[in-house]
Amino acid sequence: MEGGGGMNIFLMAGPVLAKALLLPPLGTILGAMVGAAAGLVFGSGLALLTFGMSLAVSPVLGAFLGGLLGGSAGCFMGLRLCFGRVEASLLYHPRRYKDQELLPDSVWQLGAQLYASEKLSYSVRNWRGSSFPQSALLLKPQSGDVDVLWVLFGGNAMLATDWLPFCTRLLTARGASPKLPGVAFLLVDYPGYGSNLGEPTPGSILKGSCEAIRAALLQIKGSTGIARDPPAGPQPRSCRGRSAGGRRQKPGHPSS
């Protein structure tokens, strides 16, 4: 990392860190309040069941124990959320597209071949059940079938379009012989990156990557007449990742 790079990361993570540090005390307070209320109700019920013999002690003791347990549980959950937010802020540095960086549906010259670019739309659900629209970029030959699909996963500060120079170099190196298999490229943007909504987490990135691959295989099959059913699609599939994207192509991953 270049000099000052680490400082820049911490400066970028500063606002997230400040908010994350509020989670443990808030969790403790809320947990103590809920626990005390539950303990008070339980203690009062216990006092009534004992015909009032512990009417003065049970509610107070129940509230104290409930507040202690609830506060401890709330503090634990707050610390867990705090560490998760801080980790995400250090691992992921989402970038948004500027107007000049957007790649509309059109035909592009990549190497010696003409390629059609298409925006694939899908969605990802978070743990609360909310759905966030996502998109990825599919590049495929303007004519001919697709025999090989390259799936490209970017690093923690990359956009899908940052892979275009790699696609050009690959196609230039292989030439434009009609005997060569047709190659398509799926350029993936993670949740929170590019024009995508949501937050980048290991879970959301995994779901988004799988949905992007599924959408690409369906589109390739429909446009080229490949007689294969998803998720088989064109074979073989090649995955390439950079930095954080390298974890998306580990063996055993659903997209491998």
pLDDT, tens digit, 9 for 90 and up, residues 90-115: 678 888 887 655 555 677 677 667 88
Q: What CA–CA distance (Å, rounded) separates 141 from 156?
A: 29
- DSSP for 19-60 reads HHTTHHHHHHHHHHHHHHHHHHHHHHHHHHHTTTTTTTTHHH
CB contact at 8 A, 67 and 35: yes
First-residue to last-residue Cα distance in the chain: 30
Structural tokens at position 41: 């109700």
CB contact at 8 A, 83 and 17: no
**CATH code for position 211:** 3.40.50
**Hey, which residues does 138 pair with through a beta bridge?**
118, 186
| Domain match, 134 and 105 both | yes
| Domain match, 132 and 242 both | yes
Residue 50: pLDDT band (50, 70, 90) is: low
Within a domain: residue 254?
no
Domain boundary, last residue among 61, 91, 121: 91
Domain boundary, last residue among 91, 124, 146: 91
Query: For the segment 178-232, what is each residue's pLDDT rounded down to a tens digit?
Result: 556 788 999 999 999 988 998 888 888 999 999 999 999 998 875 544 444 444 4
Mean pLDDT of the residues in the chain? 72
Q: For the chain, what is the radius of gyration of the CA atoms?
A: 26
- pTM of this prediction? 0.63
Q: Is the pLDDT of residue 152 over 90?
A: yes
Could you list the residue range(s) of the whole structural domain that residue 37 is in?
5-91
- Provide the percentage of residues in the chain whose pLDDT is more than 70: 50
The dihedral built from the CA positions of residue 23, 25, 30 and 36, taken in this order, carries a sign that is positive
Alpha-carbon 128 to chain mean position? 14
| Domain match, 122 and 240 both | yes
Residue 153: pLDDT band (50, 70, 90) is: very high
Q: Is the pLDDT of residue 86 over 90?
A: no
Domain boundary, last residue among 59, 91, 123: 91
| Domain match, 213 and 151 both | yes
| Domain match, 220 and 137 both | yes
| Domain match, 56 and 12 both | yes
Domain count, the chain: 2
